[in-house]
Amino acid sequence: MMKNKSKDGKLYLQFAVMALFLLTIILPSVSAQIAVESFTVEPETAYPGDEVNLKLSIENVGDDDIENVVVALDLSKVPFAPVGSSTEKVIDEIRDNDNEMISFDLTVLPTADALIYKIPLTITYGTVSKTSLIAVAVTAQTHLDLLLDSNEVLTIGTQRKVSFKFVNNGQVKVDFLKVTLKTSPFYEIISPAAVYIGDVDKGDFETEEFTILPLGKDPIIALDLEYKDVDGKQYREPKLIQLPTYTEEEALQKGLIAPKGTSPLLIVVVIVGVIAVVMFYRRRRKNKR
């Protein structure tokens, strides 16, 4: 009988020790709880290459003070890098029902795409570790260049096709590009004045042509570019470009066009004849030597 009581007492003591051990682990996570109360990003929307300031309010919602709270950002899978400090901050103490402010200075890498990035944030204190996500929005600038891409010689009073190149030198794709050639007293539009091009990828270009009749010397062509960026924002951008245009006399003098009535076959015959004469005289000089 005494042996059974002694055995029961030992079991009770072991159970009490185990329960006390478990309480020492569980109670800190129950009575002391850390959470991200709020966060702000300045500026709210950043461009590739910009610096942003991430401010966090870390709150102790428990009943006990907490020491040595480690707050860390995981930037391994997002296009951000720390500026002037590490990705880890240590808060010495947060009193119960109180909060502490910390901040991280980050730079947006130039290769970042226009997206909303979720940065993992890990808070560690004692044996407790919890991870949450912080969202940072990155946008990018759109930019379209207009280049003349025409090989035809333009003369006043003669209709010609004029080709333009639309180059996306921005940081994001351009969507729903529509180009409209504006009317002018310096040229007459023969072809449809508006064309729909569509998407132009970053670092890429599209070409489109219009048929016009120049009415004056070196007219300035006015075009309207309408498009949207990846966020759906609408843009309308006017573009101006000058077209080198000649009078017929100037074009003839510069050899840019053939005289009227001159057939292409005749031009070829004349060129071949000139080459033959030059070669004949060269051989003759060589034989005299």
- The pTM score is 0.58
Between 121 and 276, the more confident residue is 121
Domain extents in the chain: 32-138, 144-259
Mean pLDDT check: name the lowest of 159-168, 249-258, 277-286: 277-286
Q: Which CATH number fits domain 144-259: 3.40.50.10420, 2.60.40.10, 3.40.50.12240, 2.30.42.10?
A: 2.60.40.10
pLDDT per residue as tens digits for the range 97-114: 888 999 999 999 988 888
- Report DSSP letters for 15-35, one per residue: HHHHHHHHHHHHHHHHHS-EE
Q: Locate 220 and state its tokens.
A: 């300035």
* Amino acid 186: pLDDT: 92
Q: What is the mean pLDDT of the chain?
A: 82
pLDDT per residue as tens digits for the range 13-48: 454 434 443 444 444 444 458 888 888 999 988 888
Q: Percent of the chain having pLDDT more than 70?
A: 78
- pLDDT tops 50 at residue 276: yes
- pLDDT tops 80 at residue 11: no
Alpha-carbon Rg for the chain in angstroms: 38
- Report DSSP letters for 44-101, one per residue: SEE-TT-EEEEEEEEEE-SSS-EEEEEEEE--TTSSEEESSS-SEEEEEEE-TT-EEE
97: exposed, middle or buried (C-beta count within 10 Å: 0-12, 13-18, 19+)? exposed
Q: Is the dihedral of CA 101, 102, 105, 108 positive or negative?
A: negative
- Report DSSP letters for 236-263, one per residue: EEEEEEEPPEE-HHHHHHTTSSPPTT--
pLDDT band at 202 (very low <50, low <70, confident <90, very high): confident
Mean pLDDT check: name the lowest of 89-103, 120-134, 194-208, 242-256: 242-256
On the question of a common fold for 32-138 and 144-259, the answer reads yes
Q: Domain 32-138 is of which CATH architecture?
A: Sandwich (2.60)
